[in-house]
A = this chain, B = another copy of it.
Amino acid sequence: MAGSTFGKILRLTTFGESHGPGLGGVLDGCPAGLELSEADIQAELDLRKPGQGPTATKRKEADAVRLLSGVFEGRTTGTPIAFYIANEDQRSRDYGNLAEVFRPGHADWGYFQKYKGIRDYRGGGRSSGRETAARVAGGAIAKKILARRGARICAACVELGGIAVPEAEQDLEGALLRPYFAASDAAPALWDAAVAEARKAGDTLGGIVQIVARNIPAGLGEPVFDKLDAVLAHALMSVGAVKGVEVGDGFAAARRTGWQNNDPLLPGPDESIRSVRFASNHAGGILGGISSGQDIVLRAAVKPIASIALEQQTVNAQGRAATVLVGGRHDLAAIPRIVPVLSAMTALALADALLLQGRMAWDA
């Protein structure tokens, strides 16, 4: 209820602050018998590790994960899987001046109001983007569950600083090998210039991430309130900095007619119910809240990082006018590090829907 748990059958509970001892999570509900090692999780964590990539903070964290429970002789046992990542490179003194002012664009004001003045101001405390490491760790396990069914997630940056990758050039499959986890080979060079300019100006950039889930079986999601797209929107919007979510054609669909937007069903080669296909995928793989078997296509709008290197107008804890120059070490954009986070949230939501639907091949 206090918001640190996600999922119904596969439930991830996370904990930890940016400048506390560490952070971690407990994933309950993972079926027994899944092969799992610390290396499986570490591989995903390394994708969002601080200190790498063209927009990165200088904070260095090994983000080395340790499994504390739920795995025996290399396989999950069905009991909760706990993992822990110690914080290492904290320079909390960078934040001493933030105890008394509210940073614009940050959670400071909301937490101050919510918790009646009590907050861990060091690096944003619980509201720090560092919290997402636990999501990525949980998502790594969710991806292994999906993989048992042959499903997988691709994600890429399709726009940065207003410079979009044309749809025709998008290739999400190769994104993890490119700077910025870019959706095309050409994009990083274009974005480098925008990043250099922003860095010079002491400013930050936003962008758009696209996520595609492939080979998701039809029939996932629940009617009415827990439609698959509703749960996915919840999952993506729960990541700090996300301000918009689209499923399939999203806002563009609002500008088309029914004839243009409907995806006709086509018979497969053997004209059986198992081979049914669709002539298009405007819906993004979800119809009436239930997966159709097509690719699930999502887009998330990521706002520019709020921590800029410019003096900003604000108020202090007494409500008086103040200025703030945010110190600490910050990324210039949530992209690319947010890409594996959004991928992880998609995986968690889909693996949960899969388990809820009760279709796990090795459960039958």
Contact = CB atoms under 8 A, between A and B. Distances in A.
Identical copies in the complex = 4
Interface string A213-241: 00001111111111101111111111010
B244 A246 contact: yes
Given A80-B15, A274-B319, A32 B230 contact: no
Contacts of A229: 237, 243
A350 to B, nearest CB: 15
Interface string A180-207: 0000000000000000001001011111
A251 B252 CA distance: 12
In the complex, which of the residues A203, A235, A303 has the most CB atoms of chain B within 10 Å of its own CB atom? A303
Given A23-B69, A293-B113, A319-B274, A28 B4 contact: yes
Interface in A300-319: 301-308, 310, 312-315, 317-319
A107 B68 contact: no
A234 B243 contact: no
A254 B301 contact: yes
Contacts of A287: 105-110
A16 interface: yes
Interface string A49-91: 0000000000000000011111010011111111010000000
Interface stretch (A118-126, A139-147, A148-156, A165-173): A118-126
Contacts of A270: 319
A290 to B, nearest CB: 3
Contacts of A246: 243-244, 251, 301
| Residue in A110, A116, A161, A245 whose Cβ sees the most chain B Cβ within 10 Å | A110
A43 interface: no
Contacts of A301: 246, 250-251, 253-254
A348 to B, nearest CB: 10
